[in-house]
C-alpha cells in the first residue's frame, strides 16, 4: 500500500476572514476563495496603488509623506488608501490629528519579489529568443 502524504493545513487571517489552505494550494480552493483571491489581485492591479505600497515598504507614513514619495495628488492618494485599507492590504492608526498607514501583511513584499523575479526570467528568455532570431536572419 503506498504511503499517503498528510495534508498540512495553514491558517492565515485577513482583515475580513480566516482562510485555511493546504499543501495542495490553489487547486483545492473553492470558487468563493478564488473570488477573494481575484479581488485581492484586482486591488494590486493599479500602478498608483503599487506606488503607495512601495512607499510604505520602509514603514508607516502619513498621507503627506506618501504624496511626497509618489508624486500623486492628495485626492488620488486618499482614494487608493481607502481601497487598500478596505482590502486589508494596508492598516491605519491615528496619532493625534495624524493618520499613519502601514502594510498590514508583510508577505505582500515576498509576493511582489516573486512576481518581479518571474518577470525578469521571462524578459531574459524573450531577449534570448530575439537574439536567436537576429542570428537566423543574418545573410550568409
Q: What is the pLDDT of residues 55-109, one digit of tens each?
A: 999 999 999 999 999 999 999 999 999 999 999 999 999 999 999 999 998 888 8
Examine residue 2 and state whether it is found in any structural domain, yes or no.
no
More confidently predicted of 89 and 27 = 89
Q: Residue 3 gets which letter from DSSP?
A: P
The domain in which residue 74 lies consists of: 42-104
How many angstroms separate the CA atoms of 76 and 59, rounded?
20
Examine residue 47 and state whether it is found in any structural domain, yes or no.
yes
Which set of grid coordinates corresponds to residue 28? 483545492
Q: How many CB atoms lie within 10 A of CB 101?
A: 23
Question: What is the side-by-side strand order in the sheet with 90-95?
Answer: 61-62, 98-103, 90-95
| One domain, residues 54 and 76 | yes
Which set of grid coordinates corresponds to residue 120? 525578469
**CATH number of the structural domain spanning residue 73:** 1.10.10.10
The angle formed by the CA atoms of residues 76, 80 and 86, to the nearest 5 degrees, is 150
Amino acid at each position: 500500500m503506498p504511503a499517503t502524504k498528510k495534508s498540512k493545513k495553514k491558517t492565515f487571517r485577513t482583515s475580513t476572514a480566516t482562510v485555511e489552505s493546504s499543501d495542495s494550494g490553489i487547486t483545492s480552493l473553492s470558487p468563493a476563495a478564488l473570488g477573494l483571491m481575484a479581488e485581492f489581485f484586482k486591488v494590486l492591479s493599479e500602478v498608483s496603488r503599487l506606488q503607495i505600497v512601495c512607499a510604505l515598504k520602509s514603514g508607516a507614513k502619513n498621507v503627506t509623506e506618501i504624496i511626497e514619495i509618489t508624486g500623486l495628488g492628495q485626492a488620488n492618494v486618499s482614494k487608493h488608501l481607502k481601497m487598500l485599507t478596505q482590502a486589508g492590504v494596508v492598516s491605519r492608526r491615528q496619532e493625534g490629528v495624524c493618520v499613519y498607514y502601514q502594510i498590514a501583511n508583510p508577505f505582500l513584499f515576498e509576493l511582489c519579489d516573486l512576481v518581479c523575479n518571474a518577470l525578469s526570467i521571462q524578459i531574459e528568455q524573450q531577449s534570448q529568443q530575439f537574439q536567436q532570431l537576429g542570428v537566423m536572419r543574418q545573410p550568409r
